[in-house]
Amino acid sequence: MKGFEYLQEELDSMKESGTFRSLVPLESEQGSRVVINGKEVIQLSSNNYLGLTSHPRLRKAALDAVEKYGAGTGSVRTIAGTFTMHEELEKKLADFKHTEASLVFQSGFTTNQGVLSAILSPEDVVISDELNHASIIDGIRLTKAARKVYKHVDMKDLERALLESKDYRKRLIVTDGVFSMDGNIAPLPEIVELAEKYDALIMVDDAHASGVLGKNGRGTVNHFGLDGRVHIQVGTLSKAIGVLGGYVASTKTLIDYLILKGRPFLFSTSHPPAVTMACIEAVNVLLEEPELIERLWDNTRFFKKGLQSLGFNTGKSQTPITPIIVGEEALSHHFSDRVLQYGVFAQGIAFPTVAKGMARVRTIVTAQHSKEELQEALNAFEKAGKELGII
């Protein structure tokens, strides 16, 4: 069919410059090792921090839910798609995050879009870290509020933005809790101080911090002892929780408002029973098996130190997300392809996901990896890194 020649031209030029990427299908379940093209390789690209995607308790919860309630829910939440299990999950998440209430959306992505688009009007301003996740950026694009972007984790620049926006009805500061491409943690205590000084609201996206930081994985707010001082906590059910979805934890007022105004919540069908019940069980696992988080951090320390002592540039990572920054986009993809040949799956990431010249191979260890697997991965990175002149 004719019509898309202009898109094909762009794809062809990406192929020429070595920046075109195809999807990589997994032929096994998610885990510390996965099968790609018939070959078992070490998985270092997932967000399956605690290995919950295949945890026996989650599998059982999902299977039981299908047996008892079937495969789908048949409606959006506001019409006939709210089940008691949805409310049970929301109560559990609110208790977990030490907030009054929570609301589940179809994904972390739609949570950010739904919250930002609902609560901001032209008389408000949103003040956003320049490296916030795409879903925050897109959520901001959906609002008619004024926008200000502050330099990454730069508190002087945040204060400048606050001072420049005194005349708005509400100021909302929004930040990732853990930045997804660099693995650094937002300076929340300083952000809270500034927000309190200038009477601003704060929204933290803890997609990569829930299940990872704080007591039992409660996230960055709890990690810094700031419970009750951050207005909006967003989380995902798709990463450490191991299933699918997103949620916002906050006051009852905000949640009541989002039930009426959160567009992805209002206009998209609710989570199927298997997803909902598996998420409930995942929170139970976080509360009852804290050793998973300890193992995640033990592995993180081992692997990060290993990469650094080989001479790789791991940027400012402080969490299980450890980038290996190589600079050139094509080089990062070659590096990723080469380590795959040596038995390790770690994706190259380039512009527009990260700035030009900051392309990288991003690694994420999980609680499921053994030390032997991580050492094997380090050996593969060393070999490929030396061959490509990265180290």
Residues with a catalytic annotation lie at 180, 208, 239
The residue from 236, 299, 322, 332 that contacts ligand PLP (CB under 6 A) is 236
- In angstroms, give the least distance from the CB of 268 to ligand PLP: 13
The residue from 176, 281, 329, 373 that contacts ligand PLP (CB under 6 A) is 176
- Alpha-carbon gap, residue 271 to 257, rounded angstroms: 20
Contact window for ligand PLP (CB under 6 A) among 106-114, 115-123, 217-225, 363-371: 106-114
Phi-psi label, residue 105: left if phi above 0, alpha if psi -120 to 50, beta otherwise: beta
In total, the chain counts a number of residues equal to 391
Structure tokens at 196: 């309190």
Is residue 246 close enough to count as binding ligand PLP by CB under 6 A?
A: yes
Closest CA to 339 of 44, 49, 47, 46: 44
- In angstroms, give the least distance from the CB of 5 to ligand PLP: 32
Among the residues of the chain, which ranges form H helices?
5-17, 56-69, 84-97, 108-119, 134-141, 155-163, 188-198, 220-223, 252-261, 263-267, 273-288, 291-309, 329-341, 371-387
- In angstroms, give the least distance from the CB of 179 to ligand PLP: 8
Per rule CB under 6 A, count of chain residues that contact ligand PLP: 13
- In angstroms, give the least distance from the CB of 178 to ligand PLP: 7
Measured from the CB atom, is 124 or 129 closer to ligand PLP?
A: 129
- In angstroms, give the least distance from the CB of 107 to ligand PLP: 3
Is residue 107 close enough to count as binding ligand PLP by CB under 6 A?
A: yes
| Binding-site string for ligand PLP from residue 195 to residue 234, where x marks contact by CB under 6 A and - marks none | ----------x-xx--------------------------
Whether 174 contacts 132, CB under 8 Å: yes
Q: Which residues contact 363 (CB under 8 A, 6 or more apart)?
A: 44, 45, 303, 307, 321, 322, 323, 324, 346, 377
Structure tokens at 293: 């988080």
Which residues in this chain contact ligand PLP in the complex, by CB under 6 A?
107-109, 133, 135, 176, 180, 205, 207-208, 236, 238, 246
